[in-house]
Structure 1
């Protein structure tokens, strides 16, 4: 598990804007970002032990949101070279490094890496959606925002991997679209503690209420 080191000054600076003391579960959605085998399973291209460490907390948050009456959404980072609307930028398609090709292959639909980790407890009523860029809220590359707006959601609980990439990108864009964001410090994972804590600091100051899983579960149950 990550050694979380979030300075109190960062929390204090962001608290007047981001701190949540109550929420409406019916208008709250849990978003589990990219808990796929590519990021969580040993031997996969992006795997790291921190991603396995958070499985229980990710499932706890999803369960708490369901019990409270909120919705649960799971995203999958997806590579699609065939649909020009979703394809990588031209410069990336030309990248010759073998690691780029390996990474892209792991995230194509149907590959072992693209699937959600078998330890993720997807339940009837949950939604599993593909996204084609880091952020789940980037127009044209994921329809999550449109679908959430149709159900009146205004508050998000974000967990998953990687903290400083897809999770942070999604939280930033969601905040700018008008959502209140709860970001789970111990249910997100990066490659290193340094990257994880740097992302938490930026988010706490500017974009989200950064909390631990126990706090978020209690808030949902309140």
Structure 2
């Protein structure tokens, strides 16, 4: 019988948080890009008390990934936080974006892999990743195309997702895997 020491177990956990265990092919014909809550209330500098500066900074990188996905015929699904703080960017945003939870038919599109991007990493994005995982999707989580309002929360959330729920990759790594 093998006996595992506390040190060995801790080392294994730290390795999984740092490196993850998820490994799968990311194929454009099986993938959908999810863009979570990239709305004015979180993105426009100084416009709202809920502005997420890190989201404003990462938006150009996310825009590039969206363009790359569209060029590869990867569906891009945008959601909007449907009970925003004071609703400052409505009704304009809602006429163009589906509400989260409207039940997209990703499986009917032949998609079994989702790439999660957007804001907030440790709330809506992380929750979306966990829910997709629980529903049997392969989950890719964009490490540099997600953002949080307290940047000290970014890496701890990525570590948890990396260990248990998702393949955590940068936008460049996602694009490389989609074109491989």
TM-score range, shorter chain: 0.7 to 0.9
Q: Which residue of 2 aligns with 1:78?
A: 82
Q: 1:166 aligns with which of 124, 133, 143?
A: 124
Q: 1:31 aligns with which of 27, 30, 34?
A: 34
Correspondences of 1:150-165 after superposition (within 5 Å): 150-165=108-123
Q: 2:145 aligns with which of 187, 207, 210?
A: 187
Q: Which residue of 2 aligns with 1:110?
A: 91
Q: CA RMSD in A?
A: 2.1
Q: Distance in 2 between matches of 1:46 and 1:115?
A: 18
Q: Which residue of 2 aligns with 1:219?
A: 177
Q: Distance in 2 between matches of 1:60 and 1:8?
A: 31
Counterpart contact for 2:37–2:118, Cα < 8 Å: yes
Counterpart contact for 1:66–1:72, Cα < 8 Å: yes
Q: Which residue of 2 aligns with 1:10?
A: 17
Counterpart contact for 2:27–2:177, Cα < 8 Å: no
How far off its partner does 1:8 sit?
5.5
Q: Which runs of 5+ in 1 are unaligned?
A: 1-6, 80-101, 117-126, 132-140
- Bigger mean CA offset, 67-76 vs 199-208: 67-76
How many aligned positions are there? Answer: 166
Q: For 1:81-117, what per-residue CA distance to the aligned partner results, in whole angstroms no more than 9, with x for missing partners?
A: xxxxxxxxxxxxxxxxxxxxx824336x406xx469x
Correspondences of 1:29-68 after superposition (within 5 Å): 29-42=32-45, 43-68=47-72
Q: Distance in 2 between matches of 1:36 and 1:217?
A: 23
How far off its partner does 1:63 sit?
1.6
How far off its partner does 1:72 sit?
0.8
State the TM-score, normalizing by the size of structure 1: 0.69
State the TM-score, normalizing by the size of structure 2: 0.83
